[in-house]
Amino acid sequence: MTPNMQKFYIDGAFVDPIESRPLGVVDPATEQVFATISLGTQADVDRAVAAARAAFASFQFTSKEERLALLERLLEVYERRYEDVAQAISREMGSPIARARDSQAYAGLGHLKATIEAFRRFEFDETRGTTRVTHEPVGVVGLITPWNWPLNQIMCKVAPAIAAGCTMVLKPSEIAPVSGIVFAEILHEIGLPKGVFNLVNGTGPEVGAALSSHPDIDMVSFTGSTRAGIDVARNAAATVKRVAQELGGKSANIVLPDADLEVAVSEGVKACFSNTGQSCDAPTRMLVPADRQAEALAIARRTAEPLRVGAPTDVETQIGPLVSDVQFAKVQGLIQAGIDEGATLVIGGTGKPEGLETGYYVKPTVFGDVKPGMRIEREEIFGPVLAIIPYDTLDQAIAIANDTPYGLAAYVQGTDIAEARRVARKLRAGSVYLNYPDWDLFAPFGGYKQSGNGREYADFGLHDFLEIKGIVGYGD
């Protein structure tokens, strides 16, 4: 375990908090505290923001080449510390170690590489007549990241912020903070100028609120629940700071009548259960033609039955525990709601899987005959629970897919690609995935409606951290 667990990273050094406020970090597989961090206060945030503000005075004027060299050095050290990142994520959030390596830790690596490539091609200045249009760093930014994809979201914010010339204060989730501390160690090693990156651990209502309302913070980039995102926006409003948010989701997965049902349903089940169902863009609502629902339910059951639920340390484990007792209780309550409201329980249900009495494990669960308006159809569950909804017409399926306050992602499966594209155009979501494509690190990521605003990934993320200035009369 890193020796810096109870320290914050401020002004280029690991420092003790102003006030000792320890918090135990629980291993969700054992339900035991395995590490202790410190919770920050307004005073710690003030100290970190002051360091970032002082550093911005010079960092904003560093050259593109200087900042690119920092990112390339970050890539080098991140690759060397890769296993440390994977182990931290597996322990703090219960990610199966194989997944922590090939998805969780890789997400940080992949986003860093994509940011570097996009940054190399990015032009900060253009001329329009006699006006020079230039992009400049937005300033000091507050970064608030979640527990479900720790390094994915940290890297999606930190790397483009550095590229843009911003300075920053990061608050990782207090539920899964260890990987963030490892990341701070990586940044310390690369020789980032003092004060450019700062880290203060703490809760959302305290440290998160202090960042989002701070008068010396110019922008807040937040990933988390819609409820918390509303609080961030409200706190930021008084100082009219920019707010970029990636929030909740309840993504529909429309299986078109001509789809290969075996592939569409089986891959949809696996995608829903990926990351133990703890992904904001998971395809949790599968819409299937009503006359093929019985066949779809049989395929879903066959797919879910052999999935291996178990200890994160086992390389064969496919589904680990949920992150916390709070999350476990929420998911159990929603599974019970599905049963109570009359959905057909295809597999799974309430309680823990046999032999896994310790740890926040849930049974991978599939419901059929789900009707619009049921809680499992409306609410973000954030666990391995799939709702299969029958539809009679494609227009009805599209209407059900769009009938949600969320709009982060949607999925379409079909043999006729022209038809799949047509349906995609009608879905109110920031990302639409056709026939389970490979992950594209250069596609924009972000939501419509209550799923947020702004976009992340590659050059889209870089734009979020830049202001646009027009120098009129600049000349040729």
Q: Would you please indicate which residues are annotated as catalytic (active-site) residues?
A: 246, 280
Give yes or no for a contact between 371 and 400, defined as CB atoms under 8 angstroms apart. Answer: no
Rounded-to-integer distance, Cα 364 and Cα 386, Å? 8
Half-sphere exposure of 199 (CA within 13 A, CB side): 31
Rounded-to-integer distance, Cα 267 and Cα 274, Å: 10
Hey, what are 105's tokens?
């830790």
- Per-residue tokens: 15: 């420092």
Q: What is the dihedral of CA 36, 41, 47, 51, to 10 degrees?
A: 60
The residue type at 52: A
Could you give the C-alpha distances from 99 to 93, 395, 464, in angstroms and in order? Answer: 12, 37, 29
Residue 274's region, left for phi above 0, alpha for psi from -120 to 50, else beta, is: beta
Terminal Cα-to-Cα distance of the chain (whole angstroms):
58
Upper half-sphere CA count for residue 452 (Cβ side, 13 Å): 31
Helix ranges restricted to H, 274-378: 293-304, 325-340, 375-378
State the Cα–Cα distance between residues 419 and 274, nearest whole angstrom.
27
Distance CA 196, CA 57 (A): 10
Residue reference for tokens 């970032």: 52
Residues 192/29, Cβ–Cβ less than 8 Å = no
Residue 188 contacts residue 206 (beta carbons within 8 Å)? no
DSSP-assigned letters across all residues of 18-65: SS--EEEEEETTTTEEEEEEE---HHHHHHHHHHHHHHHHHHTTS-HH
Sequence-distant (6+) residues with CB within 8 A of 338 are 345, 365, 367, 370, 374, 375, 376, 385, 387
